[in-house]
Structure formats: C-alpha cells, structure tokens
A and B are shown apart, each in its own frame.
Chain A
C-alpha cells in the first residue's frame, strides 16, 4: 500500500470519525433537550410567570419547586403527579374563571386534594407526565379523564348510600331499578327485585291479541299522527317502562298468539246487581256521572290522562299507576270491573288499593272507562289476526323465552331467566381494550360506548338482543353516571369499610292495622319508618304531630286538605270502624321520642301568651310571608287556619325549636326563638281553630 493510499484511508476514517462524533453529540443532546422541553416543565415555568403577575405572588410561590410534584397515598394506591402542572389547584385565590388552566383552583369540595389525590375522582393516569398520556387514551395509558358531567360516578364508587350532593347519580341508580336493568344484567349493589312487568299468566283474559301485537310493536300507547310520542307532559315519567324490542312482523304474530292464549287461572267476572244494570241501561246519558265519580275519587293522583287544551296535549295526573287515556280500547270490560273491585285477585303484588265500592259506583266508573277513555282507531294499523294455531302457540312460547321476556314477566309454568345479558357489575372500570366496539363508528372511549349502548344498542352490535329504551337527555347522562360508578370493587383499596348500605327494611305491621295498610296500600304514597312512597307526607311521626280526632276526620273526608293540589288522597269510602283502627294505630304507634306530649305545660298557653305570640307571628318574625291564616298570607308553608285542631301543642313547640330535627327535609328555617317566644307562638297557634271542618288544613304547603 502506498503512502498516498494510506493517506486516503486515513482521510476517510477521519471523515467517519468527524461525522459520527457530531451524530453522537446530537444523540447525547437529545435527552436533556427533550427533558427540558417536557410539558410539565413548560407549565411550571408558565406558572412562575403567572404567579409574578398576581398580587399574592409570595404566597403562590411559597412551596413552588421546579420538579415533579407527587401526591402519594400508599393505603389507597394513589400516586398522582397532576399537581405538577395543576399548580394552583389548592390556592383559594385562583378560584375565579378568569384564571387560565391548568392553574385554576379546584372548586371547594368535601375532599381535600392532598388527602385524596385527583385520579380517585377524575380518573386518567396519575403517573403520567405528558398531557396526552394523563388525560386521554394513548397506547400504553388507557384510562381517560372522566368527563366532568359524569363525575358523580366517582362519588358512587365509595358512597353506596344516597348523597344529597349527587342528584345525577341518584337519578341514574333509580332508573337502573325502575327500568329493571337487573332483570337481564348483573349490577353492583342492586338486588334483583321481583319481576317489574305485569304477571302475564292470565293476560289472555285482559286484552286481545291485536292489542298485544300493537303493544309489542311499540309500547307507546299515545302516538301522534307523525309518530311522535305525546306522553311526555310530565317529565319523562309517563314513558312506559317496557322498552321497544326490535321484533319482525312474524315474531309479533307468534308472540301475540301465544300470549293471547294465556288464561290458566282467570278471575271470575263480577256479577252486578241486575237492578243497578237495568236502572243505568235505561239512562245511558248518566254515564257522565261515572266521570264525576272518577274525578271525585282522585284516580288522577296515581293515573294520568291526556287532556287537550288550546290545541296542546298534556298529560295530567300522577305516575304511580299506568296512563289511562285509551285504556277502554285496551281491556276487556268484564276484566275491568273485576280488577277495579279487587286488583290483587288478578295481580297479587298490584299497588292499587282495594276500594270500598258500591255496585252503582263500580258500574258507572267501569262504564265510563270502557266507553269514554277509548280510541276507536287504536288498533286500526294491526293486521287481521285470527285465533292462534297450536303451531303458532308453540313457536310463540319459544320466542318468548329467546327474547328474554321472562326476565321481567312472570308466566306460571315458564322458568325465569337470570343473567340473560352480560354482567355489568364492573362496567365502570373497563378500559377501551376491554370493550367490544366491533366495527362500529363509535368513538373509542368507555363513556361513548355506554351512551351508544343505551341510546341505540344495535349501533354497537347489530345482533344485540337488548331492546330500545327512550330516555330524556338528562336521564341518559344519569344512567351513564350510575353505570360508570359500578367499578366492581372500590378502586381505592382499604375503603371497603366505608361502603354504606342503602335501603330501609320493609315496614309491614300486623293486626287489624296491617290488614288495612295492605288493603289501602298506604305505603305506596306515604312513608313509614323510612319505607314507602314519597308522594304524600311521611307518616312516621304522625301520632306525635296530629291530633287523633283530626286524623279520623281526615280519613273520612280526605278531600278537604290542600284543595289547590292536583295530587290528593283518594276517597276510599272507609267505614267508621276502619277509620278508628287507622286513627288509633297512627296516633299511638307512629310517634317520635323527640316529642314528649307531657312536656308542654298547658297552663302556660294563656291568652296573654297567645296575644304576645300573635304579635311575634305578625311583626317580628313575619310568619305570614310563608303561612296563610284565613285568606291572607303566603303559601310556602301549610295553611295554619285550623292548626289548633290539627297539630299537637308539644309537636308545635318542638318544631319551633328545630324543624329539621323532626323532618330533615323541612324547608322552614331553624330560628333562634327564646323559650318565652316559643311558648307564646305555640299558645297563639293553638288558638287558631276553625269551627267548620270544610276548610281544615289547606294551602299548597310543602314540608310542614
């Protein structure tokens, strides 16, 4: 090799070394440069600049360190680095909306950031230090931030009992129960209840095959000509609970054929006194009296009717029972009379009370319902259906099981199905890769998956058996929130002990009262010891609150209380004996230890005290802004015109001490009365008596 050649080789090597050293230098520089350019460093520098611009710079920068900040709570497995960028999260002075993110303070909540971290509620990736990794679904970091409108789901992970601060979660949990999601799915913390759909064992005696066909096609009883559901005047509560199943005409024909043959234990039709029938058949125009009775009995407290006023159709009435606008075209008149007389003979768990009917009333009300609450064109779009053939019945019965109908409906002889749908007890903790999106166009996010499944199940999976529910937009959010709260077990280990159990034991008294309590279904509207409905006042402490004579008078003639309300206690036509059993029990047994009937000295309730009380009532405390006496006053609280005949003095005095200690939901403010003022007010209230009971109580009062 010549010197020249060697020089060439050396030159080449020199070049190689030169280039590679530059490359190494660049490679070595990448790491510190990238580190310097990291998001969190940029935000920290920004925060320092931002703090400089604020008047309280010193305090804002008091514990500022230009490094990764971490909240570590070993017992909850929390390692959150969110505060690295969200520097101002705990600074009360950075609360207003003008402060740019990510520096804004967290609105005040019951949990402190330093004690709980962020991810426990907001999800996302606490360990990530890049903006995208922390907030979104990326390759290795799957859990995205929970959109804030579902944030109450995180409260529900630990707080199993209801919280006043999380109305959306509570609404969602309530929907999970009323829509009977547990009929098909396993859900966390919701017991499988009795079947929510009606027992269909004898459905063939109640409705025709054509009606079943129409109902299964779309369980909306009131549809406008453009197909829109009109049943929405009263929130969304009037939506039938049965969802829409995607059934083909052939399937509709088979299932309706099968159901129309079900009549294994029919109730015998009621035989009216022939004289009543004869008398009314002579005067068919008197059917209007049936309507009057229907209204007098306050059927609309539980049932709603569509009423058209000024071209606008609205649902008027309650939502405890089904809507009745077209029920006359649905049910068999013989069945109707037997049902009205004794609902429990057809459905043992029916919530409708057993009224005391006279033959005449029963006849006119049944006639009114069967002939006036009708729609002749209701079944006009149903194809002609003959009596089902044996083959149709067998095929219909098979379909009934395949579609999961027996998850909600009892038919004696058909075994109920459990776990018909997928287990959803840990749906809320599933990540994107654990959910089956198939080739659908749904955004790849857990929230989007749940929403799509609820709004239109076939949009996720064309073969889905799940039926179509129609929900108001707010209810969709509520249901999604409740489902997101089901994370299997608490994500924060060691919190299991905090889990609270909801629900009160059923209140089922025995004896003569218990029988009447079941007969009139008091618990459907009233609450007793935490169990029962919320439509009417809680009667847990009724014996301490109301005078026995008042209770008896009220039960005899419930129409007289609260004349301005749409929802009134129905007229049960109770016998005197029944009234005295109920009044005795309510006044003796439904008492609270907080009110001592002997605790008030009636000698103190003198006329002088009463006149002092009147002055306090009218001038110093201006009670008339909320309460009515006679014809003047406000109508937030109950009418006090007859309070002296209604309320026990001991209750009144205890109530004035603190309304919330007797009724936690009371809206009357807790005020600082002196003992003398309280006695004076009680003395005054006890003088307010009305001789005629016609207008006892009254007012559109909320609370007491």
Chain B
C-alpha cells in the first residue's frame, strides 16, 4: 500500500479563493516595502564595511566599560554586544574600519591592558571590511537577486510558451512576492543580513521557481488533455493533483530547516530563517500568485483567444 498524504480524489477550491490571497499578499508586500524603506535591513559588516573584534576577558565586564577603555583610540562609534555563554566573558565590538592601523589587534590589547590590567583581555579575532568593498558587495548582491528573478521569468515564459506566455509573468511576480516577504521578515526579525543570508535568498528564488514549474507543467499537461475546459478548472485540478507532492517536498524541507533554525546556532540562524520563510512563501506563491496571474492574463484576453479556455496545446 502506498503512502497517501493527500487523497487522490481531493478537490479543494484554490482558484476560487485567489482574490482573498492576492489581496493579502499585496498588503504584505506593501508592508515589506515600507519596512525596507523606513527601517531597513540589519546589514552585516560584509555589506556596510567596518571592523568586528571578538574579545575575551578573564572576568565579567560590561559594554560601557569596554567603550570607555577604547575611547582614546578614536575608533568613532563603537557598539558592544555580549557574545556567547556568560561564563566565557566574550564580547563583540564593532566600529568603522580604521585605516592604516598597523597591528590593530595588538593595539587593542595594549589599550585594554591599561584599563583592565595586563593580560586581562585577549583579542581573539579581528575582521575588517572596507566601506567601498561593503558597498560593492551590497550592490552586486542585489543585482544578483534581480538578474536571477528576471532570467527565471524569461526561462519559464519560453518553456511554457506553447500554453501561454503569461506563465513567465506569473513566475516573476511570484518570485518578487517571495523576495519581498522574506526581506520583510528579515527587517522585522533584525537578523543580520550578510553574504550567507544573501546566498540563502538566492536559494529561495531557485526553490520557488522549481515549485512553480511543477505546478505549471501539470497545468500544461492537463491543458493538452482537456482543451475545451476553462483554464481556471484546469489550473485547480492541476494544483490538487500536485498537492501531495508539494506537501511532501516542502514539508520535508521545512522540517529540516526548523531543525537547523533551532539547533544550528547563532551563525546559521539568519540563513536558516531566510530559507524557512522563503520555502513556505515559495510554496504558497506557486499556488496563489503564479496561477492567478495566468488567469488574469487569459481572462482579459491577453493572448487574443477570448475568455477562459486554452485553445492551443503545448
């Protein structure tokens, strides 16, 4: 007996509820755009430049004391945060990259020795990224997201041109929706947006279009078999037919990501969170965004073939 997550004869009305979910997605996307403009992402040092220093002290201290100790070095605005277990007395210090610093680690230790005593503080790690490098990485990163989205849309439009060119538009709009939802979630969560998170965002784009292709391919297959049926009915049947596969694929991936998010530690948390939100919204958009775009195109006679029915086979 095969494993049946969803009954083979399931017939849920996804297409009929599309207006509600399109409206909901529009509100969420607009909120994401507003948040991105007004609050902004919490960029890591990769994208804004600056220095990160990991310090370890022999006894507990606080951010204020550390800032005071480093003030004579003229590092500008310094942020200090606890890092790790309380008994380890480790702190992360961030400041703008200082030019021509020579041996920054040694100078930091010498300065801290003056306040805390010889050997009381140890510089475990220093990482610096120049401001220009950070800006270039940020620009290139966003260009990568934009180009990936556009070329995915072109590819899908070409592959499904036999049924309708609107599949490409649906895929692009679904991808933009996914990226905006993920970015909005990152703004709210204040998780650090660094190169690893950007890589996770590009992975979300790849996964989302993969799921869209699965549903679109089933629509194309059903359209050739049932040429007289309205496209809305074909689309709803295709979504129901692929529902079990979608739930199994997405469900297993999401289960792994939940484990990664809870057990992966603070370094992996931003990318695990990005992937988790992206996979959920990618599955949702394949059903409730890509499909309605195609229906809107076909219903308005975008192909000139009249309302509803698909009249050309793949």
Q: Do A and B come from one complex?
A: no
